[in-house]
Amino acid sequence: MQELTHYLNGEHVKGTSGRFADIYNPATGEVQAKAPLASAEELNKAVEIATAAQPAWGAVNPQRRARVMMKFVHLLNENMDKLAEAISREHGKTFPDAKGDVQRGLEVVEYCIGAPELLKGEFTDSAGPGIDMYSMRQPLGVSAGITPFNFPAMIPMWMFAPAIACGNAFILKPSERDPSCPLLLAELMEEAGLPKGILQVVNGDKEAVDAILDHPGIASVGFVGSTPIAEYIYGRGCSNGKRVQCFGGAKNHMIVMPDADMDQAADALVGAGYGAAGERCMAISVAVPVGDETADRLIDKLKPRIEKLKVGPYTAGDDVDFGPVVTAAAKEKILGLVQSGIDQGAELVVDGRDFKLQGYEDGFFVGPHLFDRATPDMDIYQQEIFGPVLTTVRAGSYEEALKLAMDHEMGNGTAIFTRDGDAARNFANRVNVGMIGVNVPIPVPLAYHTFGGWKKSAFGDLNQHGPDSFKFYTKTKTVTARWPSGIKDGGEFNFKAMD
C-alpha cells in the first residue's frame, strides 16, 4: 500500500509520528493509501524551514515573484489531467468536476501575476514643509492554510498563491482524505522557480492544526471547513495573536419567483444541488418557490430531471453526473438526515436511499434525493447536509422567501430566479448573505473579486482571493520622511547644510 509523505524544504519526507490516516477509493470503499499525521515536532520543523527561507523570498521584487506565478500557470495547464486524476481518485468527483477544481484555483494564480500592481503603496508629496509620506505593503512572514477535502486543488491555491505572491512562506495542511493533489502542487511550484522551503505541505489531523494555531512563528492562518471548526480555529488563532480568516458551512437558498423561466430554474437547481454530489459550500441545498402554483410547476420540472441523473465512478467518464461522497461516515450522515426529514414530515419526492451500483456495492454512493413541503424547523433545513439532497420550502410571498434566507444562521450564498429587475435588485440589496446570484445558481465570484460569506459562514474581516487576499497577507507600514533643505535663496546647493 502506498504511504504518502510530507513535503518539506523541497523534499518528500516520511512521517515520524507513527500515526496515519487511511485514504479511500470512494467508488470501491477500499483503502488505497495512507497519509502520515504530523506531530507538533514535525510541524515545528516545517516552521523552522519556512522562517529561514522567507526573508530572502520577501526581498525578491514583486515582478520576479509574479514570474514564478506565470510559470506555475503554464505548469498547471500542462499537468491538468494529472492533477484532476489525483483528485478524482481520492475524492471521487467526476473528471470534469476535478478539472474545474484545478481551473478555479488556476484563475486565482493568474490574478496573482498582478502582484506588482496589487502591492503598490501610496505616496503624498509635500504633506508638510519638506515632508513626504508613503506606505508600503510588506509580507507577514510565515502563513498557514488548513484546507478541506472537497476542493483539494482550488482552495489551497486560493490561499498559498496570494500569500506567496506577497512574499510570505506558506505551510499547507490539506485534508488527510485527499492530499495527493496538494503534494503535486508543491512540486509544481518549485518547478516554476519557487525557492525551497517557501511552500511546504504537512499532512495531519487536529494535532497538527493545534500546533499551527499555537506556534508563535506563524503569523496568519486561513481555514475552510465546517462552521463549528471554523469558530474553534478563529477563536484559538486570534487568542494567540494571529491574523485569522475562517470560512464555515452554508445553507444556500434559491428563491424561484412566479415569473421565472421554470426550465431554466430547474436546470440550475439540478446542476447546483447535485453537482459534485452536493459536496460544495456553494451548492444550492434549499429551493424556495414563491406560491403553491410556482412550487407545483417547479417540482414537476425537477422530478424527472433528478430521476435521470447518472451516478457512478469517475472512471465512467462523461456518462456520470456525479460520483460517490468522500467517506462511509459522510454517506451515513447524509442518509441519517434524509431519514430525519421523513420522520419530521417532509415529503420525499425522489428517494435515493436504495441506490446501488453493480460492481461498486461497497462504494460510498448516495442516490439523489428531493424533498418538498419541508419547514424551517426541520433538521434537513437547519443543517448543512453536504450531499445530493435538495430541500424545497414553499413560501407564500416574496417577503416570506426573503425572510427564510435572512433568518438562517448561515449566509454564504443565495440566488433569485426572476424576470423582474426590481425584485432582483431589491433582493440583492436587502438579503444578508455574502454572495448573491441573479439567475445564476452558484454565485462564486471570479478571481479578481473576493469570495466570502456572512453570519456563521465566515469569521474574520477579509475575504478570500481578489484584493482582500493581498490585504490579508500583508501588513502596511507608513513612512513620514523629512529632508532638511540644502538650497540657498539664490538656488545654489549648500552641501554643508546636509552634513
First-to-last C-alpha distance (Å) of the chain: 73
d(CA 471, CA 116): 14
List, in sequence order, the alpha helices (H) in 59-179. 62-78, 80-91, 95-112, 115-118, 154-165
- CA 391 from chain centre, in angstroms, equals 23
Task: State the cell numbers at 214.
Answer: 499555537
> Three-state SS for 131?
strand
Closest CA to 5 of 176, 44, 184, 14: 14
Instruction: Name the DSSP class of 489.
Output: T
Closest CA to 39 of 15, 66, 11: 15
Cβ–Cβ under 8 Å, residues 451 and 462:
no
Q: What residues does 135 pair with on adjacent strands?
A: 478
Cβ–Cβ under 8 Å, residues 252 and 415:
yes
d(CA 79, CA 87): 13
Task: State the cell numbers at 78.
Answer: 500542462
Closest CA to 496 of 488, 486, 485: 486
Closest CA to 145 of 112, 170, 109: 170
Cβ–Cβ under 8 Å, residues 224 and 148:
yes
Cβ–Cβ under 8 Å, residues 464 and 245:
yes
Q: Is residue 246 annotated as a catalytic residue, yes or no?
A: no
Cβ–Cβ under 8 Å, residues 112 and 474:
no
Closest CA to 353 of 323, 332, 330: 332
Task: State the cell numbers at 409.
Answer: 444562521
Closest CA to 281 of 289, 272, 290: 272
Q: Which residues of 145-154 are buried (b: 16+ CB within 10 A; e: fewer)?
A: bbbbbbbbbb
Q: What residues does 247 pair with on adjacent strands?
A: 224, 458
Instruction: Name the DSSP class of 276.
Output: G
Task: State the cell numbers at 56.
Answer: 530572502
- Which residue among 112, 166, 181, 281 is the active-site one? 281
d(CA 200, CA 195): 11
| Burial class of residue 61 in the structure, from the number of CB atoms within 10 Å of its CB (0-12 exposed, 13-18 middle, 19+ buried) | exposed
- Residues taking part in catalysis: 281
